[in-house]
Amino acid sequence: MPKMKTHKGLKKRIRITATGKVKFKPANSGHLMSGKSGNRCRSMRGMRVLKGTVQAAIRNAVGGKA
């Protein structure tokens, strides 16, 4: 059987940690920040950890352990 290909677009947008968690940068944090509150801007600065059952599907698409 052929191997499953890595989803290249998704691979560029997420990171998989050593423990298997999926980290991503939240949307709407690129520009036009003056209309957003300071608390919202600061919360979008770092990476977020994905929770729930979507994590396994994303790890499978990127080629990590599901």
Provide the edge-to-edge strand list for the sheet that holds 22-24: 14-16, 22-24, 48-49
* pLDDT the model gives residue 65: 64
Domain 8-62: CATH architecture, name and number where available: Irregular (4.10)
pLDDT of residue 33: 93
pLDDT along the chain (66 residues), means of 10: 89 91 92 94 92 89 75
pTM for this predicted structure: 0.76
